[in-house]
Amino acid sequence: MPSIRKTCRAWEFLILYASDTLASVMTNITKSAFGLTFVLTTLCALILLTVARSQNQQPKPSGNPFGAAPQMSQAQQEDFPPHLLDELAAIKTAALGDDYAYRQVAHLTENIGPRPSGSPQAKAAVDYVAAELRKLGLEVQLEEVKVPHWVRGAETAELVEYSGQAAGTSQKIVLTALGGSTATPAEGIVADVVVVNDFDELKALGRDKVAGKIVLFNEIFDKQKSAAGLAFMAYGEAVRYRGAGPKAAADLGAVAALVRSVGDADFRLPHTGWSSPAGIPAGAVTAEDAELIADLAAQGRVRMHLTLTPQKLPDATGYNVIGDLKGSEHPEQVVVVSGHLDSWDLGTGAIDDGAGVVIAMEAAEVLQKLQLRPKRTLRVIAWMDEETGGSGSKTYTQDHASEFANHVAAIESDAGAAHPLGFDLKMTPQAAELLQPVVGVLQSFGTTALQSSPYPPGADIAAMSEAGVPALGIMQDSRTYFHYHHSAADTLDKIVPGELRENAAAMAVMGYALASMRNPLPR
């Protein structure tokens, strides 16, 4: 409709312009031009009327395609009375004007730095977040967690034999060790490289062709999927090789295993990550180096000198940080807002997942600033050890499983800091429908999606979700997330302050809504 209207105005303008120009010399033509204007205007009006009528005759789609506020159902009206909707709007406005979350993530990433499980930085981050939550007036506990402690060592590789090699040269390969990798001797190992594209190809080679070699899994991350907004689908397809590839290679006698980095940028960046213990050195080469090795291996023998010297130290003590803003009416009922505080060691853990922790912190900060007390307890959790085994989540489940009946809902943000599109939900359709008024509050900046997910939308809240607790994950725009994920480029500059504020608003508004709606979400 607007385009038809514009077109009509353009015709009128052109005709009027033409008639003005000609008026001084051709009065008669001017008259007819105005006449034509009149005819065209009438025609436009008729077209508009016809279009409007034909649209009226079509069945009305449900929802609100023209942005009008949808009618709330009776259940929604009961759960979200006008005063609560006003409070949610005030929380949104406050969060969108608040730089608390950004200041916190700047401290976590730049002052404290990378926070791998068992590291002094992880402990410093625990103490920092606990102190900040106490400053906000929350009741804070540290929940002790046994965490793996693995530290990175030297990591170098070079091709020492390949087709067309110039005498006296080698080719540097850019790689990083995968979490949990065992070490080569300090001087490294030299072995032939065998390249496979998938598990079937590995199986087809069999022990004869794999034993004593370095296996490279050249599984390609589907960049078109991420560009189209399906980055987590692409990640899921590729990450199987990082998770299970080294063990599959070790089972056939390989002396080391490499995977193509699970990421979608083009800057020769290796991406680390967790891998199932395989008992052999395991690393990730950059996508560019995987291509190089695959091309050379197709031409003949490729031998690699590989040095990886990480160390597995005895398990260490870590902590989940738990901060409660006690509910005014039902303090025993809990809504969890959370992110994970540990990170990988290559970058500084800004988008994975400093961002998730600080927006959960800001949810409490905004409520305190506005002096809004939720009916139920809002529990901020900064999880420990999401990246290397999930012991923080497991410990919480052991310690609190008997309270899960009173855990009304759990939110985790662990997909970056980019613009939030909405929420992934693992709950009944009836519960999801009740949350429509909440995204009604957030729609002014485009956080509108309520998408039901077959999987728990967050690793740390998965056990709660499986126990029946309604679970939500903030659904960030993921198109650039895997450019940086688990790489040295996961740094503060990747967080856009305005987008972080939108995430904080989404977390705070949804957290308060779940904690203050009249009835707990149905299960």
List residues binding Zn ion (CB under 5 A): 352-353, 414
**What is the arrangement of strands in the sheet containing 139-151, beginning at the earlier edge strand?**
139-151, 311-325, 376-383, 330-340, 407-412, 471-476, 420-426, 449-452
Residue 100 or 383: the one with the smaller Cβ distance to Zn ion is 383
The angle formed by the CA atoms of residues 391, 396 and 401, to the nearest 5 degrees, is 130
What is the token pair recorded at 156?
């170098």
Q: Which is nearer to Zn ion, 270 or 327 (CB)?
A: 270
Q: How far is the CB of 64 from Zn ion (least distance, A)?
A: 34
How far apart are alpha carbons 486 and 121 in whole angstroms? 17
Return the structure tokens found at 104.
């916190």
Prior bond to 353 cis, omega within 30? yes
3-class SS string, 165-232: CCCCCCEEECEEECECCCCCCCCCEEEEEEEECCHHHHHHHHHHHHCCCEEEECCCCCHHHHHCCCHH
Look at residue 322 and give its three-state secondary structure: strand
The 3-state DSSP class for residue 480 equals coil
Tokens representing 298 are 């197709």
Pick 91 or 415: Cβ nearer Zn ion: 415
Q: How far is the CB of 350 from Zn ion (least distance, A)?
A: 11
Place of tokens 């912190």: 361
Helix axes 82-96, 355-369, angle to 10 degrees: 120
Which residue, 323 or 356, is less far from Zn ion as judged by CB? 356
Nearer residue to Zn ion within complex by CB, 289 or 352: 352
The residue among 219 and 353 lying less far from Zn ion, judged by its C-beta, is 353
Q: Report d(CA 204, CA 487) in Å as an integer.
A: 32
Minimum CB separation of residue 409 from Zn ion in Å reads: 20
Residue placing its CB nearer to Zn ion in the complex, 143 or 460: 460
Phi–psi pair at 57, nearest 5 degrees:
-80, -20
* 351, 416 Cβ separation under 8 angstroms: yes
Q: How far is the CB of 315 from Zn ion (least distance, A)?
A: 21
Point out the residues that are catalytic. Answer: 386
CB 336, min distance to Zn ion, A: 16
The distance of closest approach from Cβ of residue 353 to Zn ion in the complex, given in angstroms and rounded to an integer, is: 4
Spatial CA neighbour of 90 closest among 518, 516, 519, 523: 516
Cβ-based nearer residue to Zn ion, 324 or 353: 353
> How far is residue 386's CA from residue 295's CA, in Å, rounded to a whole number?
36
Give the whole-angstrom CA distance, residue 47 versus residue 8.
Answer: 10
The size of the chain, in residues, is 523
Q: Using alpha carbons only, what angle is made at residue 338 by residues 428 and 398, rounded to the nearest 5 degrees?
A: 80
Is there a contact between 444 and 69 (Cβ–Cβ < 8 Å)? no
**What is the bridge-based pairing of β-strands 155-161 and 189-196?**
unpaired
- Contact between residue 133 and residue 337 where contact means Cβ atoms under 8 Å apart: no
Query: What is the number of alpha carbons within 13 Å of residue 286 lying toward its C-beta?
Result: 18
Torsion angle (degrees, nearest 10) of CA 493, 499, 500, 505: 170
Helix 27-57 and helix 2-23: axis angle, to 10°?
A: 170
Least distance in angstroms from the C-beta of 414 to Zn ion: 4
Q: Which is nearer to Zn ion, 306 or 417 (CB)?
A: 417
Smallest gap from Cβ 351 to Zn ion, in A, equals 9
> Residue 12 CB, nearest distance to Zn ion (Å)?
57
